[in-house]
A and B are shown apart, each in its own frame.
Chain A
């Protein structure tokens, strides 16, 4: 990879890290639990993108395995949150 390619990859990594900030804001602020779960979903998507881009930029293909694991665990976690949201108010009603 040429010098300019490395610089471009670093800039893209910084932009992806910046894209995480609005999602973190929504995670902290979100009026409902649903908004927070959506924000968590987007954060993990950005994390997958960051680790994939890091794998090429620094020639470390191990980080692709990290991306696979992150995508798997996020899916299970989101489904679990959906079940929790659907069922949690039945006891109090």
Chain B
């Protein structure tokens, strides 16, 4: 009974975080801020729901799977967000008007002036 209450609370927190993430993906002005909303809050929300699964069904096989999924999500979400942010910034960067500082732009232009694009490796 107590375990079920804890599981419902944790799963409700996770659902709330995922709702916030999907609200942010609609309301934010450009793709970097959208990614900021979705990748962090979404990952934490899914991880909380998986913790609720582990609390409700405490068996070894299920615990192994839950730990595996959480580890995998926490390892791959930053990686894929980094890759998408880099590719999107270099190819179709449409930053919002409120952007205050953009230091990576200078680095990219310096790279282009020296002739090496840094993208083509083969």
Q: Footprint of B on A, CB under 8 Å?
A: 1-2, 5, 8-9, 12, 15-16, 18-23, 25-26, 31-35, 37-39, 41-42, 45-46, 48-49, 52-53, 55-56, 59, 61, 64-65, 67-68, 71-72, 74-75, 78-79, 81-83, 85-90
**A16 and B119 contact, Cβ closer than 8 Å, known pairs A32-B88, A34-B88, A49-B46:** no
**A65 and B65 contact, Cβ closer than 8 Å, known pairs A71-B72, A90-B120:** yes
B57 touches A56 (CB 8 A): yes
> How many residues does chain B have at the interface if contact means C-beta atoms less than 8 Å apart?
54
Cβ-defined partner of A16 (8 Å) among B15, B31, B94: B15
A32 touches B35 (CB 8 A): no
A71 touches B34 (CB 8 A): no
**A68 and B72 contact, Cβ closer than 8 Å, known pairs A45-B43, A52-B49:** yes
Cβ-defined partner of A61 (8 Å) among B57, B81, B86: B57
B22 touches A23 (CB 8 A): yes
Point out the residues of chain B lying under 8 angstroms from A35, CB to CB: 31, 34
A2 touches B1 (CB 8 A): yes
Q: Which B residue's beta carbon lies closest to that of A53?
A: B49
Kindly state the separation between the CA atoms of A75 and B92 in the bound complex, as whole angstroms.
Answer: 22
Point out the residues of chain B lying under 8 angstroms from A59, CB to CB: 57
A38 touches B69 (CB 8 A): no
Point out the residues of chain B lying under 8 angstroms from A38, CB to CB: 25, 31, 34-35, 38-39, 84
Kindly state the separation between the CA atoms of A81 and B85 in the bound complex, as whole angstroms.
Answer: 11
B69 touches A26 (CB 8 A): no
A49 touches B120 (CB 8 A): no
Point out the residues of chain A lying under 8 angstroms from B11, CB to CB: 8-9, 12, 53
Q: Which of B1, B38, B68 has the most CB of A within 10 A?
A: B38
